[in-house]
């Protein structure tokens, strides 16, 4: 008699779990749909930007130069403003706000040549030059975001005259190229997740910056799952994401999408 009741209890437990899994699957399906929706929006956005860049290139007296839109985070005026300019690019890196070092790990070796406190930001700005190849013209400025101290803003100028391994060449790796990795989404109100790039593959493996591209890839692969978990966790904690999720669900119910 005991065996029979325990079997029944097990069956109920399994059914409960099955139900829970179904609900979880449903939730994940909705999230996937939202992600797909956002991806489509972003792709449309990128296409729009490309079109604008082409327009600027054809109108500008300096149309020979490569121009693109520079995304600038300006917490005082607007969440994001876009200024057409020649080549400097910005990345945002989430770090520990207690960490005083202005180090952005991006696969290159940098030599610091100056530090200044600027008027609009109490945090000092650090100036770096690329030290991987003599004569490499690339410079970068790193400064903490005035509003969000845990956020580092790195501004790059110029293009590397060598590859990330330090060997000379003209691969023209640039921080704004596709090697960027979204490893830690920024969920501040001023940012849309995915628009803030984070190159800081924060790992205690080695404090030195690794100039090896393969290191970056290996590291990315090893941490891929945990990063995805981190990403999902941060999304579910973000109230704005919850609102966006609700809106997206409402939208998908009113206008069914064909994927």
**Contacts with DNA, residue ranges (CB under 7 A):** 109-116, 118-120, 125-127, 131, 139, 141
The minimum distance between CB 151 and DNA, in angstroms, equals: 18
The minimum distance between CB 80 and DNA, in angstroms, equals: 20
Neighbouring C-alpha atoms within 13 Å toward the C-beta of 64: 0
Distance CA 30, CA 248 (A): 9
Q: Which is nearer to DNA, 104 or 235 (by Cβ)?
A: 104
Q: Which is nearer to DNA, 68 or 110 (by Cβ)?
A: 110
The minimum distance between CB 102 and DNA, in angstroms, equals: 8
The minimum distance between CB 121 and DNA, in angstroms, equals: 8
Q: With H, G, I as helix, E, B as strand and everything else as coil, classify residue 75.
A: coil
Q: Which is nearer to DNA, 126 or 181 (by Cβ)?
A: 126
- First-to-last C-alpha distance (Å) of the chain: 53
The minimum distance between CB 205 and DNA, in angstroms, equals: 17
Q: Which is nearer to DNA, 131 or 202 (by Cβ)?
A: 131
Distance CA 174, CA 177 (A): 5
Distance CA 255, CA 246 (A): 14
Q: Which is nearer to DNA, 150 or 155 (by Cβ)?
A: 155
Phi/psi for 56 (5° steps) reads -60, -45
The strand pair at 139-144 and 124-130 is best described as: antiparallel
């Amino acid at each position: 008699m005991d065996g029979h009741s325990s079997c029944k209890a097990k069956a109920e437990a399994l059914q409960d779990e099955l139900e829970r899994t179904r609900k979880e699957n449903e939730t994940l399906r909705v999230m996937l749909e939202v992600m797909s929706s956002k991806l489509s929006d972003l792709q449309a956005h990128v296409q729009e930007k490309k079109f604008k860049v082409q327009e600027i290139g054809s109108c500008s007296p300096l149309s020979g130069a490569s121009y693109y839109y520079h995304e600038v985070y300006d917490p005082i005026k607007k969440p994001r403003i876009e200024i057409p300019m020649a080549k400097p690019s910005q990345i945002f890196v989430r770090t520990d706000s207690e960490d005083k070092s202005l180090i952005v790990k991006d696969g290159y070796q940098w030599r610091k040549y100056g530090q200044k406190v600027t008027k609009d930001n109490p945090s000092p700005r650090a100036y770096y030059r690329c030290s991987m190849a003599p004569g490499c013209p690339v410079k970068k400025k790193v400064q903490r975001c005035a509003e969000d101290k845990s956020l580092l803003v790195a501004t790059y100028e110029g293009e590397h005259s060598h590859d990330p391994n330090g060997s000379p060449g003209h691969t023209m790796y640039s921080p704004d190229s596709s090697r960027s990795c979204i490893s830690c989404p920024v969920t501040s109100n001023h940012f849309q997740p995915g628009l803030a790039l984070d190159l800081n593959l924060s790992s205690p493996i080695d404090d030195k910056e690794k100039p090896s591209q393969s290191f970056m890839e290996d590291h990315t692969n090893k941490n891929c799952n945990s990063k995805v978990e981190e990403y999902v966790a941060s999304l579910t904690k973000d109230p704005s994401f919850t609102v966006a999720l609700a809106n997206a669900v409402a939208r998908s119910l009113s206008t069914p999408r064909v994927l």
